[in-house]
């Protein structure tokens, strides 16, 4: 690793942020990218705001021995709390809000943890978009424990629910849910636009890092 290139840490409560991490590794192959998770306390969505803040900041203590110059928060639940960190920070929530600006959804479902949905932080700039926030607390444990059968049953359930609600777009407001994309594409209507901000988040990080390199 060249000394002028920044070191990056990607944080998530569990395995959800792996997609962001892998996309970043492809975009920035010359950079050292660390993946930091707090699997002891996953899922964060069932914790109080104070518990989430404590768990998150305690996790960041593990980064002290690394020359981290950028933190990527790939956890929506943490992102909604706007917690100050000692590092320049890019969140997947910011990426999702930017991505929604480019969409023309009429009936948008937001799938997230209890905490993310209760925060009300995910909005759309278009007054013509009707939002349907849906808490899905059962999904993260199923994904963490690789329970493919039950996860598929839940994906089918949400597919039927969205069909009955005439949903045209779904924002996956939890990076864990990205792991269910193949199931969603198989069991949901092809008319539903599944919005996953993992790649957008990685691209924003890439742009930020490249701007730092150009200025150095």
* Every domain of the chain and the residues it spans: 7-91+199-215, 96-197
Angle between helices 198-215 and 92-100 (to 10 degrees): 110
Phi, psi of 86 (to 5 degrees): -80, 5
Q: What is d(CA 169, CA 195) in angstroms, rounded to the nearest whole number?
A: 7
* Domains 7-91+199-215 and 96-197 agree in fold: yes
pLDDT of residue 196: 97
Q: What is d(CA 90, CA 207) in angstroms, rounded to the nearest whole number?
A: 11
Residue 168 pLDDT > 50: yes
Q: What is d(CA 104, CA 173) in angstroms, rounded to the nearest whole number?
A: 18
Check residues 2 and 187 and name the one with the higher pLDDT.
Answer: 187
CATH number belonging to the domain at 96-197, selected among 3.30.1240.10, 3.40.50.1860, 3.10.580.10, 3.90.1150.10:
3.40.50.1860
Q: What is the mean pLDDT of the chain?
A: 93
Residue 69 has a CB neighbour count (10 Å cut-off) of 15
Q: Which tokens sit at 22?
A: 């892998």
Q: Write the burial class of residue 215 (CB in 10 Å: 0-12 exposed, 13-18 middle, 19+ buried).
A: exposed
pLDDT of residue 216: 44
Residues identified as active-site: 75, 174
Q: Tell me the pLDDT tens digit for each residue of 29-85.
A: 989 999 999 999 999 999 999 999 999 999 999 999 999 999 999 999 999 998 999
pLDDT of residue 210: 86
Which of 12-16, 117-121, 125-129, 166-170 is predicted with the least confidence, judged by mean pLDDT?
125-129
Q: Tell me the pLDDT tens digit for each residue of 97-143.
A: 999 999 999 999 999 999 999 999 999 888 999 999 999 999 999 99
What kind of architecture, by CATH, is found in domain 7-91+199-215?
A: 3-Layer(aba) Sandwich (3.40)
């Amino acid at each position: 690793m060249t000394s002028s290139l920044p070191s990056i840490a990607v944080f998530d409560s569990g395995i959800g942020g792996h997609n962001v991490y892998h996309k970043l590794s492809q975009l920035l192959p010359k950079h050292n990218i660390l993946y930091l998770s707090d699997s002891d306390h996953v899922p964060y969505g069932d914790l109080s705001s104070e518990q989430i803040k404590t768990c998150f900041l305690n996790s960041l203590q593990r980064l002290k021995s690394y020359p981290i110059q950028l933190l990527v928060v790939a956890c929506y639940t943490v992102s909604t709390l706007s917690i100050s960190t000692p590092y320049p920070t890019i969140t997947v929530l910011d990426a999702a809000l930017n991505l929604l600006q480019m969409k023309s959804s009429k009936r948008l479902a937001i799938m997230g943890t209890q905490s993310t949905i209760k925060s009300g932080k995910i909005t759309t700039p278009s007054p013509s978009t009707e939002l349907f926030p849906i808490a899905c607390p059962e999904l993260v444990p199923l994904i963490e424990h690789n329970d493919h059968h039950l996860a598929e049953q839940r994906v089918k359930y949400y597919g039927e629910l969205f069909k009955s609600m005439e949903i045209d777009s779904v924002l996956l407001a939890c990076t864990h849910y990205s792991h269910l994309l193949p199931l969603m594409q198989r069991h949901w209507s092809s008319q539903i636009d599944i919005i996953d901000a993992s790649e957008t988040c990685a691209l924003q990080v890439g742009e930020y890092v490249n701007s730092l390199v150009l200025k150095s």
